[in-house]
């Protein structure tokens, strides 16, 4: 029974991997326009937004996924944002290995560890049972773009353009 279950799981894993590979291959190369749109949507989903009660028209982004960080940095390159305008900071739980996390993120973004600002340490809440405690936990990387108010406004305007250009979903007429 265990051998049969192992074969079933292996088959499902192979099927998952094949589906993911086919979907990745279907994307192909991204044009600059497609990268721009993907970056705007990514920022709107994950970046800091300006609020009427808190005016912060600046690009600030934080994420724990290395590929999301790489895509965001590639988007900034497309927008001609130079690396000297970036402030990088690791945000991590105080019980984690800060130095290892900084080394990890430095390798991901291709900078020296000295380029990072002092890490933001999240206080431990003993009532929370954290699952992200293994060696694979590297916290989040926060990216702040200095002098980015105009860029923020353009990004927000582009987001409004994307929303306006997409036809509204008609959920009431499903068959």
Dump strand ranges (E) for 50-174.
60-63, 86-93, 120-122, 140-145
| Residue ranges in the chain modelled with pLDDT below 70 | 124-134, 173-175
Q: What is the pLDDT of residue 65?
A: 96
Q: What is the pLDDT of residue 134?
A: 61
**Structure pTM?**
0.83
pLDDT tens, residue by residue, 74-121: 999 999 999 999 999 999 988 889 999 999 999 999 999 999 999 999
Where do we find the tokens 């890490």?
119
Query: Distance (Å, rounded) from C-alpha 173 to C-alpha 119?
Result: 50
- Which residues make Cβ contacts (< 8 Å) with residue 129, sequence separation at least 6? none
Q: What is the pLDDT of residue 138?
A: 93
Query: Distance (Å, rounded) from C-alpha 105 to C-alpha 99?
Result: 10
């Amino acid at each position: 029974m265990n051998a049969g279950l192992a074969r079933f799981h292996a088959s499902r894993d192979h099927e998952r991997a094949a589906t993911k590979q086919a979907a990745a291959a279907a994307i192909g190369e991204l044009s600059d326009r497609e990268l721009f749109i993907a970056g705007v949507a990514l920022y709107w989903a994950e970046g800091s937004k300006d609020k009427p009660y808190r005016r912060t028209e600046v690009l600030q982004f934080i994420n724990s996924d290395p590929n999301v960080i790489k895509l965001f940095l590639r988007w900034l390159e497309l927008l001609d944002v130079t690396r000297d305008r970036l402030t990088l900071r690791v945000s991590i739980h105080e019980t984690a290995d800060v130095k290892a996390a900084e080394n990890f993120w430095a390798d991901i973004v291709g900078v020296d560890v000295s380029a990072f600002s002092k890490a933001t340490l999240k206080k431990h809440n003993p009532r929370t049972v954290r699952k992200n405690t293994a060696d694979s936990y590297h916290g989040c990387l926060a990216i702040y773009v200095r002098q980015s108010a105009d860029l923020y406004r353009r990004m927000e305007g582009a987001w409004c353009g994307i929303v306006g250009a997409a036809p509204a979903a008609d959920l009431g007429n499903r068959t």
